[in-house]
């Protein structure tokens, strides 16, 4: 077995262990959906999540708690220094989920696939991490959202 093939198997297992959508894992590794589904079921004893990935960052703004979690995750993604996009997302998501479980004693609101699409949007410039012009806290905005005052300072 070649080292590259071993690395792809390892990456697939790591992504599946984080509950990544089969579509993401297949795209990153080139393995078939059928094989990945079978591995997922064996690993988690349930079927993988169905449905498509989010296509718009608007879902982040529907809930204040979700916005806070998305902002925190994006901060971890931004400071991650790995050069490979996939590795940056994995490391940032592990930091984010560890932080939530340790400090907030709860489960993360973002799943890995949500974090993946948020990372893609952040890398492409659709989402930006800025400072509130009033209190200087971090704020996650879209290109459409130009005001730089957080929702706490607005009220």
Distance CA 89, CA 128 (A): 16
Q: Is there a single domain that holds both residue 96 and residue 143?
A: yes
Check residue 145 and give its pLDDT. 59
Q: How many domains does the chain have?
A: 2
Q: Is residue 100 part of a domain?
A: yes
Whether residue 84 is found in the same domain as residue 40: no
- Structural domain range at position 72: 57-154
Residue 50 lies in a domain: no
Q: Looking at 93-137, which runs of residues are DSSP E strands? A: 127-131
Q: Answer left, alpha or beta for residue 16, where phi above 0 means left and psi between -120 and 50 means alpha.
A: alpha
Task: Kindly state whether residue 65 falls inside one of the protein's structural domains.
Answer: yes
Specify whether 79 is located in the same domain as 129: yes
> Rounded to an integer, what distance in angstroms lies between the CA atom of residue 20 and that of residue 49?
9
Within this chain, do residues 94 and 139 fall inside the same structural domain, yes or no?
yes
Q: Is residue 89 domain-shared with residue 147, that is, in the same domain? A: yes
pLDDT (tens, 9 = 90+) of the chain, 155 residues, equals: 576 889 999 999 999 999 999 999 999 999 999 999 999 999 999 999 888 888 888 888 888 899 889 999 999 999 999 999 999 999 999 999 999 999 999 999 999 999 999 999 999 999 988 887 778 777 777 776 556 666 666 65
The three-state DSSP-derived secondary structure of 28-75 is HHCCCHHHHHHHHHHHHCCCCCCCCCCCCHHHHHHCHHHHHHHHHHHH
Please tell me whether residues 102 and 32 are part of one structural domain: no
Over residues 38-53, the pLDDT tens digits come to 999 999 999 998 888 8
Query: Are 66 and 102 in the same domain?
Result: yes
């Amino acid at each position: 077995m070649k080292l590259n093939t071993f690395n792809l198997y390892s990456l697939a297992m790591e992504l599946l262990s984080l509950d990544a959508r089969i579509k993401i894992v297949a795209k990153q590794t080139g393995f078939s959906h059928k094989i990945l589904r079978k591995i997922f079921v064996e690993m988690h004893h349930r079927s993988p999540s169905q449905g498509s990935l989010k296509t718009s960052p608007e879902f982040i703004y529907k809930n204040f708690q979700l916005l806070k979690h998305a902002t925190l995750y994006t901060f971890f993604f931004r400071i991650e220094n790995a050069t490979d996009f996939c590795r940056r997302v994995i490391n940032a998501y592990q930091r984010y989920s560890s932080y939530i479980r340790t400090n907030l004693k709860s489960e993360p609101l973002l799943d890995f696939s949500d974090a993946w699409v948020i990372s893609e949007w952040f890398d492409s410039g659709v989402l930006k991490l800025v400072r509130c012009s009033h209190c200087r806290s971090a704020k996650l905005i879209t290109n459409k959202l130009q005001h730089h005052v957080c929702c706490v300072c607005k009220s």
